[in-house]
Structure 1
């Protein structure tokens, strides 16, 4: 699920839930691709957690996406209408499985070249601190 946040402004929260019957792991950070994006946004290095996020069945993990600069300093601003989220494997050398396609708000999501993501976090509050 992708949902806009009121605070911090210009951010979106990604939520993934383990719907399986065994524990799963969220390695690193989400690989996000908005409509027609040419590259993957960089990760906010300071957001790296102490350990790999482990999700027991029914648990959720979180990452925040900083969509655009709050001071208007970002360049190449545009409205994205679609989002694909890919997941890294343990080696962080490539995506595993199929990408997820969470819905964006009907009006889309405004992004610019300051776009960044956090590492996956065990708690929503940790994800939204960045």
Structure 2
């Protein structure tokens, strides 16, 4: 009887163990199933996120493409506009309208200026030289004009006291002035009568003349003395006539 009970107990214990194992196995399968279900959900979420990202990326790309398409012509137009503007300025400068556009100033000579000479009432025995820039770019009127009356051999004296504070720069259309004192203060000086005057321009180095000179006819009855003078180029007529 005791053996039967023990056998029955052992059988019951074995059955409980088997049931326990089955229950455990079933729980694992259920968990696995849940995990499997969760995995697709995760995958679905990942897929949705990827889709959202793709959609977002597509929208962003589309916006960027639209923006790029809209901006590119604007940038090209702006660049073209700047280039056209620069070209226009350069062309206008070359035409001699403004003298701007990044052109480097050159030396004033007889080829890019119009030089005139006139008689003035005051000071007495004075002539006025006017050099007007007829070129397309600014020019520098360096130092003083070098003068030659007819075929005179000696250089006409330059008045050093008339040196300006800065080199006179002429934009296209602007003028520089220099006065000619036909005779000095010395009495008894010999006077020379002339009809023609050659005006030479000086370069930056102040070593002789440069470029083409200007050839002028003098006012009738012009006479000059060896003690005469010519001033440096001035930016104002009044500054030239004060000597």
TM over 0.5: yes
Distance in 1, Cα, partners of 2:208 & 2:160: 19
| Greater percentage in strand | 1
How many residues were matched structurally? 128
- Give how far 1:78 is off: 1.7
Are residue 77 (structure 1) and residue 191 (structure 2) matched? yes
The Cα RMSD (Å) is 1.3
Does the 8 Å contact 2:179/2:240 carry over to 1? yes
Unaligned runs of 5+ in 1: none
Who is 1:26 aligned against?
Answer: 141
Does the 8 Å contact 1:28/1:88 carry over to 2? yes
Who is 2:235 aligned against?
Answer: 122
Q: Which has the larger radius of gyration?
A: 2
Distance in 2, Cα, partners of 1:98 & 1:43: 20
Distance in 2, Cα, partners of 1:114 & 1:89: 25
Distance in 1, Cα, partners of 2:186 & 2:202: 31
Does the 8 Å contact 2:144/2:230 carry over to 1? yes
Misfit runs of 4+, over 2 Å: none
TM normalised by structure 1 equals 0.93
Who is 1:111 aligned against?
Answer: 224
TM normalised by structure 2 equals 0.51
Distance in 1, Cα, partners of 2:175 & 2:138: 11
Kindly indicate whether structure 1 or structure 2 has the higher relative contact order, using CA contacts under 8 Å at least 6 residues apart: 1
Question: Given the superposition, is the C-alpha separation of residues 87 and 74 from structure 1 closer, same or farther in structure 2, using an over 3 Å criterion?
Answer: farther
Residue 130 of structure 2 aligns to a residue in which SS? Answer: strand
